[in-house]
Amino acid sequence: GAPGTGKTACLSRVLLDCKDKLAGSRTVVLNCMALGSPHSVFPALAQQLGLPVATGRERIRSLEKHLTAQGPMVLLVLDELDQLESKGQDVLYTLFEWPQLPSSRLVLVGLANALDLTDRSLARLGAHLAGKPQLLHFPPYTKEQLTLILQERLGQVAGDPILDSAALQFCARKVSAVSGDARKALDVCRRAVEVVELEVRGQTLLKPLPRGE
């Protein structure tokens, strides 16, 4: 899905809702944006799984061994998966082959912006493996959905409503027309509050203090 369509938010919520069900398994969430290079995903994962330090092929082999050994399910969530695209796509191929290995206990979830990431980057995957990754499309938010998200978020603040309902609808309509990006819609509201805050602060400074203090 495109930026701000709720992929990270949705997955975080699902992980939270499934906390009890996942209690017996190992969940690893990695943000690939934070990795120095696509290949850094392997040491990062090895570290999370508590595997001994190794390098290159050796490390990939030890990960493979770990993920096909007896043990609880390993749920690996790779956010910003687009960052793992590399020459020849060897990193993505290696990762996406793991769940298909005999007696694999790995479940892999990837979050990416490019809808065709797996088709484009992993074209060979379907050819020699039983299952292609299942795709879940996150469409841009509609005006109604954005309005609900904004209302819900602003409703968390006690007291008088912060933004006029007409202003919220206007913001939701404009953002849905361009991108359907919830992050953008929230930013617009945040900015509006900041502008008002600045104006009010300016006025307070100019106002004479009571009783000439």
Ligand X SMILES: Nc1ncnc2c1ncn2[C@@H]1O[C@H](COP(=O)(O)OP(=O)(O)OP(=O)(O)O)[C@@H](O)[C@H]1O
183 binds ligand X (CB under 6 A): yes
Q: How far apart are CA 164 and CA 209, in angstroms?
A: 31
What x/- string results for residues 9 through 48 when contact with ligand X is judged by CB under 6 A?
Answer: x---------------------------------------
8 binds ligand X (CB under 6 A): yes
5 binds ligand X (CB under 6 A): yes
Strand partners, 26: 74
Strand partners, 77: 29, 109
Q: What is the CA radius of gyration of the chain?
A: 23
Span 97-116, contacts to ligand X by CB under 6 A: 113
1 binds ligand X (CB under 6 A): yes
8 binds Mg ion (CB under 5 A): yes
Cα→Cα distances 18→21, 49, 73, Å: 5, 20, 14
104 binds Mg ion (CB under 5 A): no
Give min distance, CB of 79 to ligand X, in A: 7
Give min distance, CB of 145 to ligand X, in A: 7
Give whichever of 53 and 115 is closer to Mg ion, judged by the CB atom.
115
Element (DSSP H or E) covering residue 110: strand 106-110
Question: How many residues contact ligand X, by CB under 6 A?
Answer: 14
6 binds ligand X (CB under 6 A): yes
Is-contact 185 172, C-beta < 8 A? yes
Helix, strand, or coil (residue 140): coil
Q: How far apart are CA 163 and CA 154, in angstroms?
A: 8
- Out of ligand X, Mg ion, none, what residue 192 binds, judged by CB under 5 to 8 A for its kind, is none
Is-contact 160 134, C-beta < 8 A? no
Give me the residues that bind ligand X (CB under 6 A), please: 1, 3-9, 113, 138, 149, 182-183, 186
